Structure 1
Amino acid sequence: MTSTSVPSNLGPGPVPTASAVRTASRRRADALTGVLLRGIVAAAAAAAIVFWWTTTPDDATASAGTAVTSVAELAGLVLGVLVCAQVLLVARVPWFERAVGLDRLVTWHRTLGATVLLLLATHVVLMVGGQSLTTSENPWSALWSLNRAVPDLLWALVGGVLFLAVAATSARVVRRHLPYEAWYATHLGTYLAIYLTFWHQVRGGAHLFASPTARTLWYAMYLATAACVLVWRVGLPLVRQARGVARVERVVVEADGVTSVWLGGRAVERLRAQAGQFVLVRFLVRGHLGTAHPYSLSTVPDGARVRLTVGALGDHSGRVGALAPGTRVVVEGPYGRFTADRARHHGVLLVAGGAGIGPVRAVAEELWRRGHDVVVLHRARSERVLALAGELRDVPGLRYVPLVGRRAELGHDPLAAGSVKALVPDVARRDVFLCGPASLCRDVERTVRSLGVPRSAVHYDELSFEEQR
């Protein structure tokens, strides 16, 4: 390195690594909790299947119509369980978030959403089909007959339409052109959709209606889900707000389209955040009041201030640069597991793409303080968007490599296997942290895996969770 001085913004020099035993124990506990969480969802779905099997009458297969209707009822029961699971995944339950990470829970939520949508379509189509086969009516007449015969079916159909609207706005091609506020408002309709479809289940569902015990358990499952949402998504944020809010201390333009916001105040002092995590912030000023948005910490928190480095990825994030010092801010969190505790090796490679340099810069600082051998590869399309580069250059023991330029201009991919191997020859013996657009994370993960890095040593924080900022 050409410099032997340590920039003041990186704090003190390396110190001995924290207890490896304690960190490994935490990782094992989190992994076990993640497995347990998936097991609970699978067990609940299996219980619904067993309940359907044991309560289905023997004559359910007496005709094609009754057989099709019976399968439709099975789809409806499993659908009810998975809807609760999908809501719980993003209810901000601390136990879940610590074990899996909110970013990964959101990914599971999206994946499960596709299954929920498929089961919803299966339930509706088979119910109408079964009625049509039984009564020899056309599908529209069969649907009308079901509406007259099944309590609250009309409201359930309205709820189903709301579910479809939520699914449509979740598609990437739609999200790119939809303001965050509109997307968020549509997703709030999920709770109304669940409410509208619930009464059809307990009043019109043949299996639940015939079993008071099962109906009681069904009520308990939905009430427990609602309680989690009310406590962790509504109640606790309101309590935190009542105890004090943060304030914007200063706003700094780091590069084209990248702005840092420094926050201080009582809410910040209580955060207990780690480098690389993110918080949900709601700036209490016009243009930002409607929703809370996720922003990553780009420095190691010092207990008094935090810095959020924001890429202009949407309407909300594009207006961050206009915030005035003193603006009050509601802060929720911290969330995420993109932290230095996940490193198992002395050597660590961090790869940032675009605005992903924020959390990468924070984790690199924390790892450097702990004495790790740190290499940072920073991918950017031009020098103008190379944010925070000055804070990482020329730091003793930390190697920072900017990879600037479009592939078409460079004539090669600077993150291809050969390039990465040339820059970091011992990459197979390092932990690899990735943060940036989903496509970059996927491509680099494939690259480092091909170079011998085990899956367990790859840690990522996609910006896809924050695309709607």
Structure 2
Amino acid sequence: MTLVRAVVWVFLLVNLTIIHLLFVTAGPPASGPLGQAGRLLGLYLAFALVVQVLLVARVPLLDRAFGMDRLTGWHRWTGLTVFWLALLHPAFVIAGFARHDRVPAPATLLTLAAQIPVLLGMIAVTLVVVVVALSVRAARRRLSYETWHAVHLLLYIVLTLGIVHQVYEGTAFTVNLVTMAYWWGLWAFAIGALLTGRLILPLIRNRRHRLRVAAVVPESGDVVSVHVTGRDLDRLRARAGQFFLWRFPGHNRWWQVNPFSLSAAPNGRSLRLTAKAIGPTSAGLRDLPVGARVFAEGPYGAFTLARRTRPATLMIAGGIGVTPVRALLEDPDLGDDVIIIYRVRSGADAVLLGEMRNLARGRGARLHLITGRTGGANQPFHPDNLRRLIPDIEDRDVYVCGPAALTRAVLATLRTLKVPSRQVHAELFRLAGGS
């Protein structure tokens, strides 16, 4: 996987170098220095969109090398980059033309908007602003995951409008046949990866495996497990700790998809997901009829034993984040020197606790159930307290999965305790906005 990471960095550096060569080769625009800055920002914007497409394509090699959680974090930062470039690029272009023509900027804006390719670019910028505005933390908390995901489908419209805008306005790409071949080859590569990863492969796999609901088992008042069967499930090559993106045709709309971890190690015959009722999809899973069709994308995620560096392991789970940890407990490669910390508000919230205890007992692992509100003397993830509970923590691989606040607190503590970063494996589930 080191090779894959090196290739990614080479890809970024080479393409940024070529972009600057395109900028120089195209020559100065008629709109002067401001317009020149706008053109360069436009090139950056176009390349940032290419990178964003590759990030959402869910390329298996990238997932295995970096993990879907890290890729999702990069997707967020790339989205913010696209947002600012989408604002600055037209701002500099408009300012350049306004200064060159000695016309007020509002009048220049109206003149440029009368040109269809420019107008399409402005519509794309507006949609980018809408998506980013609804993705900031304050707005995100008020939206269900399903609504948030539907809003992000607007980005495909942005992508289409952006490409059309480049066809007519991207003068730096049309200097000669070489620059045209490079630029559209780059876009063909990105869109090909997107169509392959998000459409072609999922369709082929789901046609092959024909997934169906085998059983629906309530685990508590708001948690349910769904057992899924199908054909040749061993060919999925799923591993304990990974997750799928699940669709349930007839239960929710085709564009609504939810990431749920496997809560049991895949055995080649069935898959199990366990979900807490948070949004409309997860809340309605208990009503799924046996035999209902299931459409799954994946497996995704690097929260597996493939990255383990030490024979001893510490696993920390919070709330419903216990699901991939429970699956890892079944992995035969885990070994026997295992400690599990299961953090919940109360004993009633400890779903799958009976299974966790049985699995821990079977392999001689230690399971600590920690309940109560955090505060005062009850701060289990304070550095001193965690060190007291796990004296040899720096000699263990640490797997952490739970709500974002818990995960961030644990990661901060691990840094304080000087646990090497290569031994820390965390799943924040930023794709879902929660665990």
Measured against the shorter chain, the TM-score band is over 0.9
Local SS of the residue matching 1:464: coil
1:185 to 134, 150, 174: 150
Contact 1:299/1:307 (CA < 8 Å) preserved in 2? yes
Contact 1:351/1:433 (CA < 8 Å) preserved in 2? yes
Does 1:83 find its partner at 2:49? yes
CA distance in 2, matches of 1:151, 1:355: 50
CA distance in 2, matches of 1:344, 1:95: 20
1:406-431: CA deviations, max 9, x gaps? 124x6431111121111111111111
Local SS of the residue matching 2:219: strand
Q: Counterparts of 1:58-457 in structure 2 under 5 Å? A: 66-148=32-114, 152-266=117-231, 268-287=233-252, 289-366=254-331, 370-393=334-357, 394-408=361-375, 411-457=377-423
Following superposition, the deviation at residue 304 of structure 1 comes to: 0.6
Following superposition, the deviation at residue 297 of structure 1 comes to: 0.8
The percent of aligned pairs where both chains have the same amino acid is: 35
Contact 2:22/2:173 (CA < 8 Å) preserved in 1? no
CA distance in 2, matches of 1:411, 1:253: 34
CA distance in 1, matches of 2:364, 2:209: 40
CA distance in 2, matches of 1:358, 1:223: 38
Contact 1:314/1:468 (CA < 8 Å) preserved in 2? no
For residue 349 of structure 2, what is the amino acid of its counterpart? V
Contact 2:212/2:293 (CA < 8 Å) preserved in 1? yes
For residue 368 of structure 2, what is the amino acid of its counterpart? V
CA distance in 2, matches of 1:145, 1:285: 48
- Decide which moves more: 429-438 or 200-209: 200-209
CA distance in 2, matches of 1:85, 1:298: 32
Following superposition, the deviation at residue 140 of structure 1 comes to: 1.0
- Decide which moves more: 69-78 or 120-129: 120-129
CA distance in 1, matches of 2:293, 2:105: 56
1:50-79: CA deviations, max 9, x gaps? 32123324xx6x9xx610110000000111
Contact 1:246/1:268 (CA < 8 Å) preserved in 2? no
CA distance in 2, matches of 1:236, 1:392: 34
Local SS of the residue matching 2:217: strand
Local SS of the residue matching 1:361: helix
Local SS of the residue matching 1:366: coil
Contact 1:383/1:404 (CA < 8 Å) preserved in 2? yes
Following superposition, the deviation at residue 253 of structure 1 comes to: 2.2
Does 1:34 find its partner at 2:5? yes
For residue 371 of structure 2, what is the amino acid of its counterpart? V
| 1:204 to 1:151, Cα distance in 2 relative to 1, 3 A | farther
1:412-461: CA deviations, max 9, x gaps? 31111121111111111111111112222121011122123111110111
2:25 maps to 54
Following superposition, the deviation at residue 170 of structure 1 comes to: 2.1
For residue 36 of structure 1, what is the amino acid of its counterpart? V
1:111-138: CA deviations, max 9, x gaps? 1111111111110111111112112222
For residue 93 of structure 1, what is the amino acid of its counterpart? V
Contact 2:124/2:162 (CA < 8 Å) preserved in 1? yes
For residue 105 of structure 2, what is the amino acid of its counterpart? P
Contact 1:278/1:336 (CA < 8 Å) preserved in 2? yes
For residue 15 of structure 2, what is the amino acid of its counterpart? A
| 1:396 to 1:212, Cα distance in 2 relative to 1, 3 A | closer
In structure 2, the gaps of 5 or more residues are none
Local SS of the residue matching 2:335: coil
Contact 1:91/1:228 (CA < 8 Å) preserved in 2? yes
Contact 1:180/1:468 (CA < 8 Å) preserved in 2? no
For residue 192 of structure 2, what is the amino acid of its counterpart? A
TM-score norm. by structure 1 comes to 0.87
1:272-294: CA deviations, max 9, x gaps? 21100111221122335442221
CA distance in 2, matches of 1:133, 1:379: 61
Does 1:43 find its partner at 2:10? no
Local SS of the residue matching 1:259: strand
CA distance in 1, matches of 2:146, 2:323: 24
| 1:160 to 1:72, Cα distance in 2 relative to 1, 3 A | same
| 1:233 to 1:411, Cα distance in 2 relative to 1, 3 A | same
Following superposition, the deviation at residue 41 of structure 1 comes to: 2.2
Following superposition, the deviation at residue 178 of structure 1 comes to: 2.1
- Decide which moves more: 245-254 or 349-358: 245-254
For residue 356 of structure 1, what is the amino acid of its counterpart? G
TM-score norm. by structure 2 comes to 0.93
CA distance in 2, matches of 1:272, 1:353: 27
Following superposition, the deviation at residue 358 of structure 1 comes to: 0.4
Contact 1:41/1:82 (CA < 8 Å) preserved in 2? no
Local SS of the residue matching 2:75: helix
Q: Quote the RMSD (CA, aligned, Å).
A: 2.1
| 1:225 to 1:81, Cα distance in 2 relative to 1, 3 A | same
CA distance in 2, matches of 1:123, 1:171: 22
Following superposition, the deviation at residue 167 of structure 1 comes to: 1.7
For residue 161 of structure 1, what is the amino acid of its counterpart? T
For residue 434 of structure 1, what is the amino acid of its counterpart? V
For residue 93 of structure 2, what is the amino acid of its counterpart? M
